[in-house]
Structure formats: structure tokens, C-alpha cells
């Protein structure tokens, strides 16, 4: 199914913003006020940003439909994912582990697949293994490692002209995101550690600066192309 028919246009240049690893209500409320496209709630068992189900359910109710909630998973058991879906009603899932494509698609929700770019010369074969993905998160960490690492990769390696949305992730912050957008022209950007004072604790000023930097670069791009 082409990406556009899943409701994601890939041609326009209003870079989608995903703020990931929320654990506090004030951070979720600010993300909603900033009108970001996605927030990420993490359920990967080894993550320092991992949420308990009750905590996640309390955060989820703060999010209106205009911001989509993504549940991040890394080799979680099926029964855990079923419980996460039942309690937190995510709009999308995001898989970071060794999950097969069939497993990812079996929950009846759209999903993003994360690709580790740290050791990957060409991500296209890995992406092709997930034809049902609604998007890909290309992240700077190595294979088998967790996200939220703050590790960058060479942004020029991001594939262009893909039909499925690609989010650029890994080591982004308010200072480097404009250059990242100019270099990679991704559909979206995804950030965790670059807007934090500590894992899971967001820095309100850094959140505002990051979102403003993305929107300023989008505006500059639109002005340049007329």
C-alpha cells in the first residue's frame, strides 16, 4: 500500500516532529501545546525512559488526537504489547528489536520500524523487509543497541525519494537540526536526549528551541523555493 494512502504525504515540506521518551505530565502537555506530530512512550524493558503501564495510561489521556501517541517496543512479548495497547491506546507502534515484519503487523495498528544506521551502509534492504511499515526511523546507534543514544550518523546516507516516510533520528538538537534537514530532507525528525536534562526528563526550553528550529528551517526552505 503506498504511504500516501495511509494518510502520510511524503512530498510536502512541513517536517513532522516526534518527541520521544516522555515520562512526565508537564513534558507531555508542553509537547501538545507545541503541536508536535508525535510523542513517544517507551516500553523497551532496558530503557532508562521505560514507563510502567499505569504511568503511561496517565500520560496518554493528556494527548488529544492532533498529536499521535507512539508506543516504542524492543523485543517485548506479545502479551506485554497486548496489555500496552489495551491500557494506553497508542496510535502507532514502533519496533526497535528483532521482531519479524509479520509480528509487527499483527496488532492491527500502523507501525514504524527503527533501523540502526551505526553499522548499516545501505538501509534499503532492511527497509524492504518491512513492506507493511508506515514509516522508518533511521537512527544513529549500532545494531542491537537501544535508541535514545544521542549518536549521530552521516545524514547524507538517508535514502531520498522513498514512498514510505522516513524520520531522521540520533543525536539531533536545536543547533544541528537545520543542517540535518538541509542535508537529509527527511519526512520527519525524532529526538530524545537532545531535549533532556536527564533520561526521561525533558528540558522545556530545549523542547521549544528544537521545535522552533525545525519550523524556522521549514519556513526558510519554503521562502527559498517560492
Report, in Å, the least distance between residue 113 CB and ligand LARABZUK: 12
Put residue 145 in one of left, alpha, beta given phi > 0 → left and psi -120 to 50 → alpha. beta
**CA-CA distance, 116 to 145, in Å (whole number)?**
8
Which residue, 60 or 112, has its beta carbon nearer to ligand LARABZUK?
A: 112
Q: Is 3 in the site for ligand LARABZUK (CB under 6 A)?
A: no
Residue 167: which residues within 8 A CB-CB, separation 6 or more? 16, 18, 112, 135, 136, 137, 138, 186, 187, 188, 189, 190
Q: Are 117 and 136 in contact (CB under 8 A)?
A: no
Binding mask 77-96 for ligand LARABZUK (x = CB under 6 A): -------------------x
C-beta nearest to ligand LARABZUK: residue: 148
In the complex, the smallest distance separating the C-beta of residue 171 from ligand LARABZUK, rounded to whole angstroms, is: 5
Give the residue with the Cβ less far from ligand LARABZUK, 112 or 222.
112
Interaction pattern, residues 51-80, with ligand LARABZUK; x per rule: CB under 6 A: ---------------------x-x------
Residue window 124-143: x/- pattern of binding to ligand LARABZUK, with contact defined by CB under 6 A: -------------x-x----
Dig out the grid coordinates for 88 from the structure.
494506553
Helix ranges (H only) for 72-134 are: 78-88, 101-105, 124-128
Alpha helices in the chain (DSSP H): 25-33, 53-60, 78-88, 101-105, 124-128, 177-184, 204-225
Asked if residue 190 binds ligand LARABZUK (CB under 6 A), the reply is: yes
Q: Which residues are at the interface with ligand LARABZUK (CB under 6 A)?
A: 20-21, 40, 42, 44, 47-49, 72, 74, 96, 137, 139, 146-150, 169-172, 190-194
Amino acid at each position: 500500500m503506498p504511504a500516501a494512502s495511509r494518510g502520510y504525504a511524503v512530498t510536502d515540506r512541513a517536517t513532522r516532529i516526534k518527541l520521544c521518551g516522555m515520562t512526565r505530565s508537564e513534558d507531555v502537555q508542553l509537547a501538545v501545546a507545541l503541536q508536535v506530530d508525535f510523542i513517544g512512550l517507551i516500553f523497551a524493558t532496558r530503557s532508562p525512559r521505560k514507563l510502567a503501564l499505569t504511568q503511561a495510561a496517565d500520560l496518554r489521556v493528556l494527548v488529544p488526537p492532533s498529536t499521535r501517541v507512539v508506543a516504542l517496543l524492543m523485543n517485548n512479548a506479545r502479551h506485554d504489547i497486548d496489555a500496552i495497547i489495551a491500557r494506553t491506546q497508542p496510535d502507532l507502534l514502533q519496533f526497535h528489536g528483532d521482531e519479524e515484519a509479520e509480528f509487527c503487523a499483527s496488532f492491527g495498528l500502523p507501525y514504524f520500524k527503527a533501523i540502526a544506521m551505526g553499522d548499516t551502509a545501505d538501509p534499503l534492504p532492511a527497509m524492504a523487509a518491512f513492506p507493511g511499515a508506515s514509516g522508518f526511523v533511521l537512527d544513529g546507534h549500532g545494531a542491537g543497541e537501544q535508541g535514545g543514544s544521542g549518536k549521530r550518523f552521516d545524514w547524507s546516507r538517508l535514502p531520498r525519494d522513498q514512498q514510505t516516510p522516513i524520520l531522521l533520528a540520533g543525536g539531533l538538537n536545536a543547533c544541528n537540526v537545520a543542517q540535518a534537514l538541509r542535508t537529509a530532507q527527511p519526512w520527519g525528525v525524532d529526538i530524545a536526549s537532545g531535549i533532556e536534562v536527564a533520561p526521561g526528563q525533558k528540558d522545556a526550553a530545549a523542547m521549544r528551541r528544537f521545535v522552533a528550529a525545525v519550523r524556522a528551517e521549514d519556513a526558510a526552505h519554503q521562502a527559498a523555493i517560492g
